[in-house]
Amino acid sequence: MTEQRKRFVGYDYKEVTAESGRLSFLLDGYESFGWELDKNIAGAAGGVPGISANAQKKYTLRLKRDRKIINKAELTRLQGNFEACIAEIDALENAKTAKPSIAAITLGIVGTGFMAGSVFAVTAAAPLIALSVILAVPGFAGWIAPYFLYRKMVARQTEKIRPLIERKYDEIYELCEKGNGLLH
């Protein structure tokens, strides 16, 4: 009887937290750099080992990679570029709504200022009804317009930022292709 012994493999471990819509994309990307899902960890996302969820609807990928993988230095460098591109995409996604949110909130505050002036005008010792009405009109407009301003600005920002995001995805695919080429 011959007994085959399993060879020892030392692993590096990594945890990546992401929203559910991005899990597959990240898993595919990290696999291009030699990482694989750690099946030894009990999972929560549909019972998938190596993936768990937290209270904020974010999932954690638990990955492992052979410590003695060939081309490890180059794979690690490419992986760093991959992670930087992911961070840049996140920043660009947030930029779609940052300026529109600030503009809408500012307009709402201005509208509230006009409405406060209207209230003060009507509650004065000698009520100034005409002034109250004049101030109430931009006050209501300042409460209604932010919604439409926000939607229009988000659409404009999205059109401006979309090509930048697409270029980042193209860069990610090139990095993954190079990493995958180093593995095989």
Half-sphere exposure of 54 (CA within 13 A, CB side): 9
* Burial of residue 163 (number of CB atoms within 10 Å: 0-12, 13-18, 19+): exposed
Question: Which run of H or of E encompasses 18?
Answer: strand 11-19
Question: Which run of H or of E encompasses 69?
Answer: none
The H helix count followed by the E strand count for the chain is: 3, 4
pLDDT in tens, 77-102: 999 999 999 999 999 999 999 999 99
Specify whether the CB–CB gap between 111 and 140 falls below 8 A.
yes
Q: What is the mean pLDDT of residues 93-117?
A: 96
Specify whether the CB–CB gap between 30 and 55 falls below 8 A.
no
Looking at the DSSP bridge assignments, the partners of residue 53 are 59
For residue 1, pLDDT beyond 60: no
pLDDT in tens, 44-90: 555 566 676 665 678 888 999 988 888 889 999 999 999 999 999 99
For residue 180, pLDDT beyond 70: yes
Look up tokens 């509650």; give the residue.
Answer: 123
